[in-house]
A and B are shown apart, each in its own frame.
Chain A
């Protein structure tokens, strides 16, 4: 299974090399008060690198490139987050380890789609429970988070991977049409739409408008891929109809959005520098202050501003490490989502899953980056992997695990369903001569 040992060894070396270069930069450029802190940070990062490289040997996968990308970006984020506070960020470090574990869980869970398809009702159940939890938390505490010690969990984040799975597992049943009155109806489509509507309603109810676009994008990608299945061609009529419906829904949504949402859409950050536009204007000033190569790790002023480590993390990284480095960081995340393009998945199920995850990651990233830079209204979503925040990292790790599953799939039916199938022995009657 370890088919490319040379490539893997080189990957290991260069991942460590990239992290070391960052650490060297901190050593000479950084604003750490004690060299001991840098030593701890360096040791932690390199040890985690090596430990993970050893750990993945126990997983027999066809492809490891996503593992390398994941450890690369996670340790980058550990270094970033440590620089923001000028000492080793142990909390983020632990969260990253949890994220790595979550990725492996995701991989184990999703690599065999036949298995998951039989357990579909558990996915729907899980989403239902989480939605109840979101509602419950909102009603009781008027909040989006559950706090356990110093870690915070956001239940609505966990709906994302389950929703991706729901989209992907419903693919196979797409062909089972049922006739109700004179309409050909696919139960899966209806249930998925209801699920989507329920998620949207709950999100609106709990005032979490930030993650709405992510869900909508997952659903759109899932839907576009489903309506054409198994036909391998886009039906243009359907596509345009879907786009028209989405646009109309968006317009209606914007028209009747609550006042504070409307206000956000029209705020001019420069005329309201100290009020609503504070974070964004400070973020833009920080990017301008950083220039191409940054002011040096830990020397930025943005780390004094609220939400520097999640909502405007792009600007914080950009100030301390330079715009070029921030762009490279974004590129790394793009490549994680683009791995299925280099190396196509072997089943439509995994391909759908990969596309949905790519949509989720990229929409989140776009909302965060463009929002903090005043291209679109500011929402409080996180950049996957980079932003601090337990649930966000955990879910990002899990979803990367799902991408890994697409790269190293297993096609095996579970024994129960295999027994049910009648094995018809085909008797060769005649041979076709060549």
Chain B
């Protein structure tokens, strides 16, 4: 009767709720099972390949490879030993594991693999070119976002284990491309972008300031130029080519460059200002630090020095490279880099095919084309002999680290060729300790990329 039906209704509601919960549970388990499995101590890892099928990481541990075969990619590809956490393997262990819920953990014959976009041959050539010197190189295709080269020295061969971990040099276990460093004059690219974005190219080109080798700013700070005799009166193009510090200090002080808008533009570019909480750029699970600087007062030494590329300013090479893509594309949008082209599951079918993604617009198209022109002119004026055979737009930089004890050499740039769209950033640490230059590395990088892809 009706009253009994009511009790039945209560029972059925309870049962239905429970069944609903079970359905959610089962779906959750199936969806997250590979994550659970990753946390167990039983893993059956597959391979990581480069873009041509060369092995970059062997999870099975069965293959034999030449000595130091993995040395050049050691600290970006990483391994599953837990010593390095910010690497492709450590961040994507789940995808590399030969497990799925229906087949279970495959002891052998699993085809789980990660196919990266890196080019091992070029990476190796660039790595070897450094010799005993240290630094890092990163290069990618600014049209698609494929990371082609990502080398950082010193590095390690992961197959050799970590027994003598205490004797490892500083910076062995992390890729320098992901970590912030002093950008030196390459920072002037950002400052030019900001100035163009705020003032427009007409106004900026009409500005000219005089450099006498030294500039005393409005609060009495001393801005030195690397040319002690001064560059004389210059416009923006000349100042950019000369990398003239007094010019940029005066530009920051100029009333036509409102300071609030400058700060806004810096934030748009991705800078974290004045000690705010730092952020990360996520590249296939790998965290790349974003730039940071101090902008407090346009008339103070610290702020001006920050816009010139010293002081508190720190930028990671990957981010420097990404800005080049926004310039080279002419769209003002950065192409987001990726390492993983696709992964295969245990049965070998392709999934998670990478797609090209762009950032939000960080500056206008007209700014992009103006900066591109400035950089290309710089490239053709100063680098056409040093980096021959490619129409490059570049900016070099020298960064003082360890309070001026050492100088790092940087070079950021792009190739303005639709069939060879490469943006790159090269860092050589303690440049005076050896003979190699950033241009030399750039030449090797571009030649190898041209031949290999």
Contact surface of A with B, Cβ cutoff 8 Å:
217, 221, 224-225, 228-230, 232-234, 270, 273, 281, 284-285, 287-292, 295, 323, 327, 330, 334, 337-338, 340-341, 344-348, 351-352, 354-355, 358-359, 362-363, 365-366, 369-370, 373, 375
Contact = CB atoms under 8 A, between A and B. Distances in A.
Contacts of A330: 22
B232 interface: no
A344 B5 contact: yes
A344 B39 contact: no
Interface residues of B, number: 36
22 contacts: A232-B6, A233-B2, A285-B36, A287-B33, A288-B29, A288-B34, A291-B101, A291-B103, A323-B29, A338-B11, A338-B12, A340-B7, A341-B12, A345-B7, A355-B7, A355-B8, A355-B10, A355-B14, A365-B18, A369-B25, A373-B25, A375-B24
B21 interface: yes
Contacts of B37: 285, 288-289
Contacts of B39: 270, 273, 281, 285
A169 to B, nearest CB: 15
Contacts of A338: 11-12, 15
A224 B36 contact: no
A337 B4 CA distance: 15
B11 A337 contact: yes
Contacts of B42: 289
B67 to A, nearest CB: 36
B26 A327 contact: yes
B15 A337 contact: yes
A184 B161 CA distance: 80
A345 B6 CA distance: 12
B40 interface: yes
B197 to A, nearest CB: 42
A334 B11 CA distance: 11
B36 A287 contact: yes
Nearest to B42: A289
Contacts of A284: 29, 32, 36
Interface of B: 1-8, 10-12, 14-15, 18-19, 21-22, 24-26, 28-29, 32-34, 36-37, 39-40, 42, 99, 101-105
B103 A334 contact: no
B3 A229 contact: yes
B11 A288 contact: no
Contacts of B14: 217, 221, 355, 358-359, 362-363
Max count, chain B CB within 10 A of own CB: residue among A221, A340, A346, A351: A351
Given A288-B34, A362-B15, A352 B7 contact: yes
Contacts of B22: 327, 330, 369
A348 B36 contact: no
Contacts, number: 120
Contacts of A270: 39
Sorted nearest first, the 10 A-B pairs with minimum C-beta distance are A232-B2, A351-B7, A288-B33, A288-B36, A232-B3, A285-B40, A284-B36, A291-B104, A358-B11, A355-B7
Contacts of A290: 104
B101 A288 contact: yes
A348 B104 contact: no
Contacts of A344: 4-5, 8
Given A281-B36, A288-B101, A291-B103, 10 more contacts: A225-B6, A229-B3, A287-B29, A327-B26, A340-B8, A341-B11, A354-B7, A359-B11, A373-B29, A375-B25
A334 B102 CA distance: 25
A323 B27 CA distance: 12
A270 to B, nearest CB: 6
Contacts of A289: 37, 40, 42, 104-105
Given A285-B40, A340-B8, A291 B15 contact: no
Give the residue among A228, A287, A327, A334 with the most B Cβ atoms within 10 A. Answer: A287
A344 B2 CA distance: 11
Of A273, A292, A344, A358, most B-chain CB atoms within 10 Å: A358
A421 to B, nearest CB: 24
Contacts of B12: 338, 341
Contacts of A375: 21, 24-25, 28
Nearest to A224: B10
Highest count of chain A CB atoms <10 Å: which of B11, B28, B103? B11
B25 A292 contact: no
A271 to B, nearest CB: 11
A112 B98 CA distance: 60
Given A285-B36, A285-B40, A292 B101 contact: yes
